[in-house]
């Protein structure tokens, strides 16, 4: 795996261990991220249904990212490198999806390639905007580069359109979670985004009926009960993970990382930091 084809994530050794053990990446709620202004302009209850995993495409080490996301534990941080198409693909029958949700899927084949398993894609409790491996373009619904704009609050506000007469709400889904204040531009962030919406919990309603009521459901200020979401990685992707040690790493940190890679990967590698700081 060539580093130039990878994206990068700064994190702790503890989180690295959880990624390796679970073979999954944690997506956090937009309203729970460290930037308390994240998603400003979007109602709080809607922000709670947007889940993101934050990365950077810059291969150059970023001292600020080391300090904020990896070295807060006094050197016990790493930067992981993985290809952008890192997630597991589920081949799901288009007919099976349509039979459950009650409307047609846009697909040229009989199988839909999804990043989510069927039970999460067609849950009885929430609706998931379909994310597939055909949605890999820059600034797509699933993967996007952050746009830093001084008018980010207004841009977020403009993503939501309410039709009072019809009692419905609509969203510009691809741009949700894309705009941030220029003060965060040093992060050079890209992110994966999953968007969930609640369905009415009524045992007397079929899943189809719940989906039919979705446009009206969006007008109800109901926050997500999901705190995070773990998206499965491709079974073989971690075998080629590259882990760069913090510039403040100790010998003991290197021993721990090596032990983790030896246990969970066949060809995972360790790199020393190019930075020299104290």
Q: Tell me the per-residue pLDDT of 170-189, one tens digit each, with 9 for 90 and over.
A: 667 778 889 999 999 999 99
Q: What is the pLDDT of residue 212?
A: 64
> Which of the given ranges, 113-117, 195-199, 218-222, has the highest pLDDT on average?
113-117
More confidently predicted of 176 and 212: 176
Given a cut of 80, whether residue 219 has pLDDT beyond it is: no
Closest CA to 115 of 125, 99, 126, 130: 130
Q: Tell me the per-residue pLDDT of 68-101, one tens digit each, with 9 for 90 and over.
A: 988 765 557 999 999 999 999 888 887 877 776 6
Q: What is the pLDDT of residue 102?
A: 59
Q: Tell me the per-residue pLDDT of 136-162, one tens digit each, with 9 for 90 and over.
A: 455 578 899 999 999 999 998 888 776
Q: Tell me the per-residue pLDDT of 30-76, one tens digit each, with 9 for 90 and over.
A: 988 888 888 888 888 888 888 999 999 999 999 999 999 887 655 57
Closest CA to 243 of 10, 2, 133, 79: 79
* pTM of the predicted protein model: 0.85
Band the pLDDT of 207: cuts 50, 70, 90. Answer: low
């Amino acid at each position: 795996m060539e580093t130039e084809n990878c994206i990068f994530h700064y994190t702790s050794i503890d989180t690295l261990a959880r990624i390796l053990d679970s073979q999954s990446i944690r997506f956090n709620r937009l309203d729970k991220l460290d930037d308390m202004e994240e998603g400003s302009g979007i109602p709080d209850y809607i922000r709670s249904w947007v889940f993101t995993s934050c990365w950077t495409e810059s291969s150059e080490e970023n001292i600020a990212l080391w300090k904020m996301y990896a070295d807060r534990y006094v050197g016990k941080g790493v930067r992981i490198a993985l290809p952008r198409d890192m997630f597991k693909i589920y081949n799901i029958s288009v007919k099976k999806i349509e039979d459950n949700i009650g409307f047609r899927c846009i697909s040229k084949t009989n199988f839909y390639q999804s990043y989510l398993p069927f039970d999460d894609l067609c849950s009885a409790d929430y609706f998931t905007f379909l994310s597939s491996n055909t949605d890999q373009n820059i600034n797509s619904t699933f993967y996007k580069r952050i746009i830093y704009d001084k008018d980010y609050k207004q841009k977020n506000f403009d993503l939501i359109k309410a039709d009072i007469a019809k009692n419905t709400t609509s969203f510009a889904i691809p741009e949700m979670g894309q705009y941030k204040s220029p003060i965060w531009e040093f992060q050079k962030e890209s992110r994966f985004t999953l968007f969930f919406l609640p369905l009415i919990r009524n045992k007397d309603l079929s899943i189809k009926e719940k989906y039919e009521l979705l446009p009206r459901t969006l007008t109800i200020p109901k926050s997500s009960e999901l705190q995070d979401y773990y998206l499965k990685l491709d079974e073989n992707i971690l075998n080629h993970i590259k882990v760069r040690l913090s510039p403040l790493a100790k010998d003991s940190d290197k021993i721990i990382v090596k032990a983790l890679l030896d246990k969970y990967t066949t060809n995972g590698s360790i790199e020393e930091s190019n930075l020299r700081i104290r």
